[in-house]
Structures are given as structure tokens and as C-alpha cells.
Amino acid sequence: MNGKKQIVLLTLVLSLLWVAPSYGQLTKLRAAYSAESSWSLATWVAHDAGLYRKYGLDVDLVLIRSASTITSALIAGEAPMIQLGGNGTIQAALQGADTVNILTLVPLIPQSLVVTPDIKSAADLKGKRFGVSRFGALSDLVIRRYLRKFGLDPAKDVTIVQIGGIPELVTAMKAGAISGGSISPPALTVAKKAGFKELADFESLDYKYPAVAIASTKSFIARQRAVALNFIRAEIEGVHTIRTQKNFAINVLKKYMRINDADVLEDGYRYAAKFFQLRPYPTLDEVRAVLDEYKSLPQAANAKPEQFIDLSLLQELEKEKFFDRLK
């Protein structure tokens, strides 16, 4: 064997020796997400593209639909990293938990007002029944904001009822039990194809909000900062992968949503590619919007917005030029 071949062989062996331990020493981590929609796509892509493993994590990814339950799992340490609507962790922090938002992947509420075909204009909304997943949930907040946008008092001019998730909401609309609700992509496309009307799209609200956030606890970040950093590296690279590998992202969406309709998948992908932030910094304005939502709580009166977010992890990625490598 000549010298050149020996060098090539030695390089290959050394590279294998370097890679093998990194995969043999993955840190196990349970993470959870709260919604089966396009807004979980960055987390799904990070998992299925092997990005968590790329950054040294063996992530057990679980679905916990209830905002209160997923927040409880975070506080208990059962799922130290979670994806959810960022209002839930802020509410928990107001009540004494050490929960903190570290990323805002989607900084606006991605739910459109969808109504039955008999509603032709905003004037037709008065006196109707509208469904939400549960009182106090994000869907409840959105419906009330839409109604106020159209000059209606949610407490007097309409009836708001608890229905359940989006599938239950659509079923109730089909049965005539309610006249509308707030629906996010890609179920939004399903509803429109079923004959329902998008009376107002979510961009028209012009309302900054931590609709899709990655959260943890201050104590976990202090103990496992490297793990938290690697988790958000994978999440952010997941956003980059959505933008650069469309077919892969659509297939991931198809898998988790269990949808085969090409139009629905295309719309779901389009919304995700447009609204996910590559530099997903939480902002004080988003937190103020949530604190305003909970202003009836005495703890909210003197709360400072900066206590509910941790920017230091993203700032550390900036210092290491992480975002530059994704261009």
C-alpha cells in the first residue's frame, strides 16, 4: 500500500473513531409539543431529520394536547423542553413556577376566523354561537379578539361554548351546533374545502403574541445549559430545513398530521415556511400582550416582562456565529 492510500485509510479510521463516541454518548431527553398542526413542523422536522441527534440528543418526542398538562409536565421535570403557546408558561410563572420562554418560533396568533356559509358579513355574527377548545385557551382569546375587531361584545352579543379541538369544532359547525371558530393551518384548508368561509385571516389581527414558543425552566437551564443549547440549535436548524427542503418538510407534515390531501399539505407548508422565525427571539411586547390577558391576576400588576423570557441562549448562539452557518 503506498503512502497516499495509507493516509486516506488512516483519515477514514480516525473519522470513524471520532463519530462513533458522539453517537454512543447521546443525552436522553423527553420533549413535548401541544398541537398537531403546521406550527409543530419545526419540532417534527428537527426530530425526523436527525437534528437532535446531530447535536448530541436522543429526544423522546411526545404529544400532550392540553396546555395545562404540558406545562405541568415541564414543571415536574417530566418534559424539560416543550413547545406550546407561550401564554401557558407565562401564566405558570405568574403563579410561582420558574418556567421561561426561550424561543418564539411564531410571533403572531396563527388562527383565522372561520364561519358557516350563512354568515355573509360581520353583521351576521351577532347572536351566533362560537366554539373554543376551552375557556381561557388560545382559541378563546382569538375568538374574542376577532369579535371585538368587528365591534361586538363577546360577553353580550354572542355565545361562546367549549367544544374541544379543531376536529370537534369542524364537526360542530357541520352539525349546525355553532356558527364558527378559530382554525389554524393546515386544518384551515380542510375547513375551506368543506365549504366554510374564512371571514378574517390571522394576519389581519396585527397582534404580536408568543403563539408557538419553546419553553423550559430556569432551574433546568442552569443545570443543563448545554442540553438546552443543543435543543434550540436543532429547532432553529429545523426552521432552516423547512425553508430549504420543501419535499422533506411536506412529507413530515403528512406523517404527523395523517393527511394525504396535496392542497392541504401545500398550504400547511406555505404557512410554516412564511411565519416561522429563523432568529426566534422572544420580545417584551409579546409578553406584555400575555400579561394584559392576565391583568385580573394580582401577580400581573407588578410583573416585569423580562422575567418571563431568557434571551441568553440565543445570544450565545449569536456569539458562536451559529445563524451565519445556516445561510
Is pLDDT at 138 greater than 80 in this prediction?
no
DSSP 245: -
Residue 312: which H helix or E strand, with range? helix 312-319
Q: What is the pLDDT of residue 219?
A: 98
Residue 107: which H helix or E strand, with range? strand 99-108
Q: pLDDT confidence of 162, banded at 50, 70, 90?
A: very high
- Residue 284 and residue 304: Cα distance in Å, rounded? 9
Instruction: Give percent of the chain above pLDDT 70.
Output: 93
Q: What are 147's three cell numbers?
A: 369579535
Instruction: Give percent of the chain above pLDDT 90.
Output: 70
**Rg from Cα positions in the chain:** 22
**Beta strands 159-162 and 27-33: pairing type?**
unpaired
Same fold, 26-108+209-326 and 112-205: yes
- Residue 105 and residue 84: Cα distance in Å, rounded? 10
Q: Where are the alpha helices (DSSP H) in 150-214?
A: 166-174, 187-193
Q: What is the pLDDT of residue 205?
A: 76
Q: What are 58's three cell numbers?
A: 436522543
Q: What is the pLDDT of residue 111?
A: 85
SS3 assignment for 51-113: HHHHCCEEEEEEECCCHHHHHHHHHCCCCCEEEECCHHHHHHHHCCCCEEEEEEEEEECCCEE
**CB 172, CB 189: distance < 8 Å:** no
Q: Which tops the pLDDT comparison, 265 or 12?
A: 265
For the question of whether the overall pTM of this predicted structure is more than 0.85, the answer is no
Query: Could you tell me the maximum CA-CA distance found in the chain, to the nearest angstrom?
Result: 87
The 10s digit of each residue's pLDDT in 184-233 is 888 888 899 899 999 998 778 777 899 999 999 999 999 999 999 999 99
**Domain covering 26-108+209-326 assigned CATH 2.40.50.140 in the classification:** no
The CATH class for the domain spanning 112-205 reads alpha beta
**CB 74, CB 99: distance < 8 Å:** yes
**Hey, where are the domains in the chain?**
26-108+209-326, 112-205
DSSP per-residue codes, 123-159: GGGTT-EEEESSTTSHHHHHHHHHHHHTT--TTTTSE
